[in-house]
């Protein structure tokens, strides 16, 4: 069994993967208030302590993706810091950005790029199985990506530093993240990426229209469900024609990937969007929240 959770942190991102191997991964960091921070960090600490390998994937250094990273380091530690290689600067450096730069430039950093390999990220050995994470972007030689690096270096923008990566479980789910990568940038690079079918897609840029995935790419991905993030409603693209879960209304979303099904739980008790695309399984556990429904992944 593996668990994937998307925390409800307001207009920001924070996820973890409790792998079905000896791995634990946190993706980005953000908290909306002190109570959420303590609750979320304690949950992360409890689960991370059960695994032999932990890693942190940072999509890019905007504050809503790194807020609280110093406290996270103090709570669970960060021994493996994954990010794209960059020299991003900011005119005003927050404590979180300073910590990001410290980790980015340290021996703890592993710089990710399309097709890269690393022991226990996507390589198994006799000691432990891999985490099932694979990097599909960036191509560090691509001129558009080089321009994005230059923009970040001069402190202009950071969204298009975001990597594209998947998490896959043999015989179960495939999930994709794209950070805050922007629609116009995706249009420029889409032909360089090997888009394959997935089950769950976290819509980039918190579900904003500015991060909308091009329609031809969506057809190739063919996700069973798209998770729309917590940007203000007036900025969201609701991906009409696709099954969606809106985190603004759902709250925390937890995916339990076990056997031939993915069971979905949310923290909200009043979610009212259409869930007819999900099955209702006879057995489920309320300890993960309020049961929303289940689906059978394409590779199950």
81: CATH? 3.60.15.10
Residue range(s) defining the domain that contains residue 17? 2-295
> Helices in 67-206 by DSSP H: which ranges?
69-76, 95-104, 143-153, 183-189
Closest CA to 162 of 176, 174, 177: 177
Residue at 135 is within a domain: yes
How far, in Å, CA of 202 to CA of 167, rounded?
A: 12
Count of domains forming the chain: 1
Residue at 206 is within a domain: yes
Identify the pLDDT of residue 281. Answer: 86
Element containing residue 248 per DSSP (H, E): helix 247-250
Question: CA separation (Å) from 60 to 88, 97, 288?
Answer: 9, 10, 29
- pLDDT (tens place) for every residue of the chain, 300 residues total: 999 999 999 989 999 999 999 999 999 999 867 767 778 889 999 999 999 999 999 999 999 999 999 999 998 899 999 999 999 999 999 999 999 999 999 999 999 999 999 999 999 999 999 999 999 999 999 999 999 999 999 999 999 999 999 999 999 999 999 999 999 999 999 999 999 999 999 999 999 999 999 999 999 999 999 999 999 999 999 999 999 999 999 999 999 999 999 999 999 999 999 999 999 987 777 889 999 999 999 998
How far, in Å, CA of 166 to CA of 269, rounded?
A: 30
How far, in Å, CA of 234 to CA of 248, rounded?
A: 12
Residue at 25 is within a domain: yes
Residue at 300 is within a domain: no
Interstrand relation of 164-168 and 53-57 (parallel, antiparallel or unpaired):
unpaired
How far, in Å, CA of 288 to CA of 267, rounded?
A: 8
Identify the pLDDT of residue 126. Answer: 97
Identify the pLDDT of residue 36. Answer: 72
Residue at 157 is within a domain: yes
Identify the pLDDT of residue 35. Answer: 65
Tokens 């689906």 sit at which residue?
A: 295
Q: Concatenate the DSSP letters of all residues of 169-210 into one string.
A: -TTS-EEEE-TT--HHHHHHHGGGS-----SEEE-GGGGBGG
């Amino acid at each position: 069994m593996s668990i994937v959770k998307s925390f409800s942190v307001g207009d920001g991102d924070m996820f973890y993967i409790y792998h079905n191997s000896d791995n634990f991964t946190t993706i980005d960091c953000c908290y909306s208030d002190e109570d959420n921070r303590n609750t979320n960090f304690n949950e992360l600490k409890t689960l991370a302590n059960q695994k032999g390998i932990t890693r942190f994937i940072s999509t890019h250094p905007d504050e809503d993706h790194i807020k609280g990273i110093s406290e996270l380091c103090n709570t669970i530690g960060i021994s493996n810091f994954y990010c794209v290689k960059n020299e991003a600067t900011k005119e005003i450096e927050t404590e979180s950005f300073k910590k990001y730069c410290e980790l980015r430039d340290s021996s703890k950093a592993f710089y990710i790029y399309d097709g890269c390999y690393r022991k226990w990220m996507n390589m198994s050995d006799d000691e432990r199985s891999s985490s099932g994470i694979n990097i599909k972007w960036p191509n560090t030689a691509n001129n558009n990506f080089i321009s994005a690096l230059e923009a970040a270096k001069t402190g202009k923008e950071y969204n298009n530093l975001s990597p594209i990566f998947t998490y896959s479980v043999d015989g179960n789910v495939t999930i994709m993240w794209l950070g805050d990568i922007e629609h116009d940038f995706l249009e420029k690079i889409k032909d360089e990426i090997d888009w394959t079918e997935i089950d769950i897609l976290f819509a980039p840029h918190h579900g904003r229209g500015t991060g909308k995935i091009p329609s031809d790419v969506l057809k190739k991905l063919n996700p069973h469900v798209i998770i729309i993030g917590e940007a203000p409603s007036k900025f969201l693209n609701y991906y009409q024609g696709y099954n969606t879960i809106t985190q603004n209304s759902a709250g925390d979303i937890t995916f339990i990937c076990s056997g031939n099904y993915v069971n979905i739980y949310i923290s909200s008790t009043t979610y009212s969007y259409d869930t007819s695309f999900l099955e209702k399984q006879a057995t489920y556990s309320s300890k993960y929240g309020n049961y929303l429904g289940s689906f059978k992944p394409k590779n199950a």
